[in-house]
Structure 1
Amino acid sequence: MTTRTPPFPVLAELSAPDGAALVVRALARPERTAPVVVVLPAMGTAARHYTPLVRALHRRGATVVTTDLRGHGESTPVPVRGVRFGYRELVEDDFGAVLDAVERAFPDAPKLLLGHSLGGQLGLVHCGLRQPRLAGIVLVASGSAWWRALGAESDRRPGLRWLGRSLLCVAGAELLGYWPGNRFGFGGRESVGLMRDWARQMRTGRYRARGAAADYEAALRNVDLPVLAVDVEGDALAPPRAVDHLCGKLPSARIERWRYRSADAGGRKLDHFRWIRHNAGLVERIASWARFPAAGAETSGHGGRDGAASGARA
């Protein structure tokens, strides 16, 4: 990308109760009932970085909606000292506003969330808490950040380095008033509140947020949707055991597990982020699971929630 602005039309400009602003963009299909995929990014990852995935899903028959997590890309506020938003604001304010905007724009289309890393984790919490009528959820490289579930699969001491890193990150964020992850190679510029919530989940394995409307762990148990949970070969940030730990929190969901391997990506090397560009095999797997119309076919009505293709209202 040579520009910092995503090359897709603006769908909506939203304001949260605390004044935060979100820009929602969409690459829309002409078919009224084409499936809509709402992409929730990873921590520190601007929505523009998903452009290859957006274009691939669009070619395969989906309308694709993107937005930046607050504090990144086109979303505000930028984390500085005194800006303390965390998981609660993303889960309870931002995601619902985005899904409402998508519903207004595409009322007749089935809708799915596609969450990468933190976007997938918090997207699940939102679904359990607010119960949006989605057709399904796709998790890609999205696993619990619990330290015991992290690290390479061959690591005999899984996640110990990540546990130590989380303590240093939150200490640095407390000292500076924000986390300058863009300078230290982990995350982006993050608010101190978000880093606190992330470090807490890494230590305990549980999702909690100060001032939350409900118990987030209990909310996860209420997720009653089809879920395609994909771990990615070469991904030490969301290895299979981390994805399994997150899926274990979803007893009511109808989960299908799959591993995206280099062989599925035409032999390209994969990791926590490379799959975004090397996505061909993954897009086809999502299309099959969600029952997208056959490539090149006109999109018509859909049915059957288990097939992740029923009409939905966010």
Structure 2
Amino acid sequence: MQRKTLRVTSNDGASAALELFLPPMAPDRALLWLPALGVGIGPNVRFAQSLAAAGVTVAVLEWRGLGSSDRRASRRSDWGYRELLDDDIPAAARLAGAQLPDAAWCIGGHSLGGQLALLHAARNARDWSDCVLVGSGHPHWRTFRGWRGHALRLLLHAIAPTTALWGHFPGHHLRFAGREARRLMRDWARTARTGSYRVAPFDATLDADLRAWTGAVLGVRLADDRLAPAASLDHLRALAPHSDWTVRTLTSAQFAHRRADHFGWLREPGAVVDTVRAWLDTRAAVHRTQKR
């Protein structure tokens, strides 16, 4: 396997790494991968390496504000869903695609990365027909049962005053996410409160794009995932009702040393890799049939 480090520069000048993991043989399938909120490239390396070893090129984007990024969240440096969806993800997609123009590219992500991958695919329907979600779902507080739903609701109402006080979201101190931008967390909180993607400046267009998208989606759910329960994935599916959804649930019995939870699979990605690769094989067969 070959690993190649590229540099993505967005329209507004923000720059970050894009790590490319190439299979030993010439690849015909490729996955643009978006990590979870507050998670850099590092924790995703095992997954990317394992999938590349299985014959799929993986390009992992470093989120703005993390690791190799030249931006850090502060009072003077702020961003939200607009910058990620309009600038960073499209720039990464262009760069990745230029490296392997003949490959069949799919987009996917973990947790919030999965949500943003699906939104990007829906907004660019001509370019994306397949999307992979792992440990993802819509964070609407009502999809969390009992005290977790009420605790999430309290957190959502605390985000605006907390970010106003600190100038950013101090996730490391609160043991949730990392040092995140004010608008990013406020956008996330708004989606979690409303159950929709009505964030500025998109208004209702993101929800409309999701409703109209007819691509195929693999949703890999982890049975012990408290941060992305089954109901949250169901809610996301309801927002994209015309997409072709395949849901696979992995249990802890399928992991030798980890639980099937939100982050454990990153340390032991074998079961997820097998599931994703099998689905990509199926999709490749569908695309070959459609071209005949």
Q: Partners of 2:139 and 2:288 in 1: how far apart?
A: 28
Percent identity at matched positions? Answer: 31
SS of residue in 2 equivalent to 1:291: helix
How high is the TM-score relative to the length of structure 2? 0.92
- For the pair 1:181 / 2:176, whether they are aligned, the reply is no
Q: 1:189 to 1:91 in 2, by over 3 A?
A: same
* Paired position in structure 2 for 1:211: 201
* Paired position in structure 1 for 2:97: 103
SS of residue in 1 equivalent to 2:120: helix
Structure 2 counterparts to residues 71-220 of structure 1, below 5 A? 71-150=65-144, 155-212=145-202, 215-220=205-210
Larger relative contact order (Cα-Cα within 8 Å, sequence gap ≥ 6): 1
Q: 1:240 to 1:161 in 2, by over 3 A?
A: same
* Paired position in structure 2 for 1:20: 14
- For the pair 1:238 / 2:228, whether they are aligned, the reply is yes
Q: Partners of 1:124 and 1:41 in 2: how far apart?
A: 13
Q: Partners of 1:13 and 1:213 in 2: how far apart?
A: 31
Contact 1:62/1:292 (8 A) holds in 2: no
Q: Partners of 1:47 and 1:170 in 2: how far apart?
A: 28
How high is the TM-score relative to the length of structure 1? 0.86
Deviations 1:266-285 (A, max 9, x none): 36322111111222122111
Alignment-mate amino acid for residue 283 of structure 1: V
Contact 2:27/2:56 (8 A) holds in 1: no
Listed as ranges, the gaps of 5+ residues in structure 2 are: none
Deviations 1:193-231 (A, max 9, x none): 101101101111111232238611111112221101111
Q: 1:135 to 1:305 in 2, by over 3 A?
A: farther
Q: Partners of 2:92 and 2:214 in 1: how far apart?
A: 20
Deviations 1:105-148 (A, max 9, x none): 10111111221011111111111112252351110111101000
Deviation at 1:30, TM superposition (A): 4.2
Contact 1:135/1:305 (8 A) holds in 2: no
SS of residue in 2 equivalent to 1:172: helix
- For the pair 1:269 / 2:259, whether they are aligned, the reply is yes
* Paired position in structure 1 for 2:37: 43
Q: Partners of 1:41 and 1:230 in 2: how far apart?
A: 14
Q: Partners of 1:205 and 1:234 in 2: how far apart?
A: 22
Q: Partners of 1:254 and 1:76 in 2: how far apart?
A: 38
Alignment-mate amino acid for residue 90 of structure 2: G
Q: Partners of 1:41 and 1:204 in 2: how far apart?
A: 23
Q: 1:240 to 1:85 in 2, by over 3 A?
A: same
* Paired position in structure 2 for 1:9: 4
Contact 2:121/2:129 (8 A) holds in 1: no
Deviations 1:24-55 (A, max 9, x none): 11011243343112110110001111111111
Deviation at 1:306, TM superposition (A): 8.8
Q: Partners of 1:233 and 1:142 in 2: how far apart?
A: 12
SS of residue in 2 equivalent to 1:272: coil
Worse-matched range after superposition: 167-176 or 260-269? 260-269
Worse-matched range after superposition: 125-134 or 95-104? 125-134
Deviations 1:56-109 (A, max 9, x none): 111111111111111111123110112221011111111111111111110111
Alignment-mate amino acid for residue 142 of structure 1: S
Structure with the larger helix share? 2
Contact 1:226/1:254 (8 A) holds in 2: yes
Alignment-mate amino acid for residue 274 of structure 1: G
Alignment-mate amino acid for residue 179 of structure 2: R
* Paired position in structure 2 for 1:64: 58
Deviations 1:168-208 (A, max 9, x none): 23321111110111222101110001011011011111112
- For the pair 1:260 / 2:240, whether they are aligned, the reply is no
Contact 1:110/1:135 (8 A) holds in 2: no
Listed as ranges, the gaps of 5+ residues in structure 1 are: 1-6, 294-301
- For the pair 1:304 / 2:286, whether they are aligned, the reply is yes
Contact 1:226/1:306 (8 A) holds in 2: no
SS of residue in 2 equivalent to 1:43: coil
